[in-house]
Structure 1
């Protein structure tokens, strides 16, 4: 959510930020709407003061038996009693319109975000590891997975397209991956484990920017709640409507949850395999910081996701997303893309974003420094640590053997009961 005061004071900078997002200038329109609202507020306050003043004057006029003056004042008060509710309604209507327009505008990109229209113009920051090569022709995960328990047909039979059933050894590996990520983030990287609700209210979805713009990408329950598309929603909204003490920050939360997405905008994309599902599991990282900590926290969070991939022995690269490829709430995003030898290309496995105070304004999440009366909005950050399903895909493809088996990465073997290789299911 944007601050109308910032727009009033920096209209050119605001429109320049929108231009980088590929959006038309809006500052003049928003300022005009705000000026109209402020003029109504001024008229309303003046009218209320005059009504109170005139009401007192009526008594004084009657005490002096000045009926002419009393009648004139009574007529004025009567007119104000009619006009003031009209002004209140106008102010609420214009205020709601202004808020709705501000809520529909994406966050402005930070200065170092590269300009670009789509993913083809993202910036390569660093490459980790060398793309895996084999002495045999590498297969994609959807060719290898079914013999290990990745059951696409039964998933479709039970729930329809973009659902998959995991059974046997592959289900065990999937659980081991999620637990490894959660244990590492809590044990080594100072994140607090949380088990959050999977269904949330409108306010929570609005707070992190999913509503109202992206309702079609979500699943809604019959009682009006929303299934979370990511634990970012639940974790970030922990601080909604709160005033935190500066010494409490940063707060770092993590959760391993199912996530639910309609993939409304992904028709025809990744219809095969386990890459793009309606239901998937993800370990989420969320940080709540002060503005002066958020830059360092963004690097730290991305580094935590990178550490997980390095420990798994998966080749990957860090990309800085361009202005046209960033999410609605993000001011800067790093994507980590893992190498998939079966596909012969890198695919996203984690996105780590700083949202500055954009979400905090929507949630009214603030902090107060010691000894100060004034409050400031916190900065919020979120990242995948990691998407479990896509990590499973990466392990299957990078650790495949010619006979169709999978070598279990060393960091997972304790959680697999010492199993070093997944053999095909009979």
Structure 2
């Protein structure tokens, strides 16, 4: 139907979109304070980028990508995640030739053909950061602390930070062999996708969402059992830095994350009470991804946080979001002569930096006042023929129920002064 949105998508309407704007304001300030610069990549990329970067054996590539042929016969995919696209931009625009490390952040829509559920959509929005050019464990700790800081600034509580090390190409082969031995004895308990992964990438079996595979994977060998000395030292250094920063964590030996590019540090942030899928964000290190995408051997680390999940968690926890007033003032006209002058005055006030609106339906003065009340406007300017002749307007304070006449040339200043007096009393969006 033309009047029904596609399943797994949502309309963000006035009254809701302001919540998103608030999140974006917090994100931009946070990233500025941590020294990150914004990057904006295309919403679609060549399919090969995700097949090579995310991994052919991942659920994302095998089951969830929106892939199509364009008119030129090229395979194109709506981005299912942000890291691969950022790495592509880093290489294509030769950002590796400048000062390192490069610290980038992004917000925007991603697309996965997944089963819609609470806080999870097929078009969803992420806030992510990527740092390219350093293998310092302190950077791992900073990235994780930054994610937790974001949630803290929003007032979220009862968060669990889970962390693990998934090793590197030197120690991963040993784990691969151990996992293959383990799952070969349980192959009849695996889903069809995981049977195919057994020889190609058995680590992906640990990330399967099928309950039968989760059961089969209990007591499977873990990466921490087979870390090489360098990976073990890096992991312990990350944990030590997190302790110094006062960031609480739990080591989760079974955590692998859902993307093939992870090396060393992997982490996930969960919260109870938002449905079966309780993860609200995560990330990790991906030291081989730049090279896999055709560039030099440059390390990287980042995270991606689902913003729908963030808003759902805020709602569950009863956190209210500051709501700026929609308008500074509404202009109500008492007669036809005043209406003829109203638009000029409204435009003049807008040019002075005020948010102003007026009636466009020919309502009576009484109806205009009711309409202004429904908009939640604190001030109404009442303009009539008599006021026009005397060069004054009536300024009504809707919350106090009082009004007074002021000279027309003082109107903008009076509205600003009223806003300063009431800024601490701005409304809230119930969450």
TM-score (norm 2): 0.49
Structure showing greater relative contact order (alpha-carbon pairs closer than 8 Å, 6 or more residues apart): 1
TM-score (norm 1): 0.50
